[in-house]
Amino acid sequence: MHLFLRNFNTPTLQISCRMVSNYVSRIRHLCDLKEDEACRKALSSGTFLLFHGLSPLLQRIENKYTAPFVTASELNGILKKLGQTEKCLEESVLIGCTESLVPQFALDLGQTEKARAELLLKGKFVEFKKAFFLLEGKDSPLLSQAQALLHWHSTHLYCGRTGQPTQKNISGSKRVCGTDEIIYYPQMSPVVIMLVSDGARCLLARQKGFPPGMYSALAGFCSIGETVEESVHREVAEEVGLDVSSLVYSASQHWPFPSSTLMIGCHAMVQPKQNKIELNHSELEDARWFDATEIAEALKHQQVPSKKEMGEIAFWIPPPRALAYQLIKEWTQRQQQS
């Protein structure tokens, strides 16, 4: 909306209206495709991201990795060579559609021979966490959504109330227990991630499971009944013994690790006179304050360092794909401008 107000002239207005119209068309089309009959028909005209045991198919051209979409006709030919039938397509999940309204699906080929599938598809099934960071930024969100949805279906095969098998609808937007008509919808867990500052410095911490030398913003799952604000206050108090005086929302991000989560990013302030860290050793291995100069140096390293590089740098932060990086970058830019 702000974009339209700032650029209120005829050419830009026309372009903006077309963009909004196209978005609405895609969303309405996706809504229609959630109906079983419409989605079943779309399987014959859609494109597919492929996985094997939740590991996505990647192709490498020179030094660039992509997660290719395979057309329905191409996939049917490959499935026949793998000893599968077209019925296998109904195990896929709907993940989106292109601007030209071509349906996009994700399908796990875990029931087929992996090496044979890789040969036919001219690619490699790469462990998901590695694949997520190998891909360009524009590709990873859709891959993340696809993997999260496939994973959810693989772990919700039975009804928690009746113990009976659940059935996926064609689009994968829900599972239904036929006994009591109980409907289950895919879910993700809310997580707050906050960069704490005392005005002059920001606080970064590391867990025991982090790679050597990596420090990041504090983060934790929201508890049932909590608001985002209450979760931020509690997590900061629990992990580093600090009392948040104010906070500002920054941005959010779907994060597929360890399972599907919604990361809610905030900047949190503590009073300079009340900034003594009292580390909770059951939660964290270390936490410390860093000034803007130290952080600016860390921001220069935008790739995960090699093992050799880890020993040569004082510390490093998550790569740009992570919301933690964006929070740290925002804070540093404000410090440099003030």
Among 136, 154, 172, the domain boundary falls at 154
Q: What is the pLDDT of residue 196?
A: 98
Residue 101 falls in which region: left (phi positive, over 0), alpha (psi -120 to 50) or beta: left
Asked if residue 144 is part of any domain, the answer here is yes
% of the chain with per-residue pLDDT over 90? 78
Residue 283 lies in a domain: yes
Question: 113: helix, coil or strand?
Answer: coil
pLDDT tens figures, 242-257: 999 999 999 999 999 8
How far, in Å, CA of 321 to CA of 302, rounded? 9
Q: Are residues 318 and 212 in the same domain?
A: yes
Examine residue 102 and state whether it is found in any structural domain, yes or no: yes
Confidence of residue 173 (pLDDT cuts 50, 70, 90): very high
Other CB atoms within 10 Å distance of the CB of residue 168: 18
Instruction: Verify that 148 and 217 share a domain, yes or no.
Output: no
Q: Are residues 148 and 199 in the same domain?
A: no
Dihedral over Cα of 131, 137, 142, 148: its sign: positive
Residue ranges making up the domain that contains 271: 189-337
- What is the domain-level CATH number for residue 95? 3.90.79
Specify whether 203 is located in the same domain as 90.
no
pLDDT tens, position by position, 182-235: 999 999 999 999 999 999 999 999 999 998 899 999 999 999 999 999 999 999
Residues 133 and 215 both lie in one domain: no
- Both 223 and 326 in one domain: the answer is yes
Query: What CATH number is attached to the domain comprising 213?
Result: 3.90.79.10
Domain count, the chain: 2
- The angle, 0 to 180 degrees and rounded to 10, between the axes of the packed helices 323-337 and 292-299 is 130
CA distance 23 to 43: 22
- 147 and 277 within one domain: no
State pLDDT tens for residues 26-84. Answer: 999 999 999 999 999 999 999 999 999 999 999 998 889 999 999 999 999 999 999 99
Question: What DSSP designation does 158 have?
Answer: B
Beta-strand pair 70-71/286-291: unpaired
> Measured between alpha carbons, how far is 330 from 270 in angstroms, rounded to an integer?
17
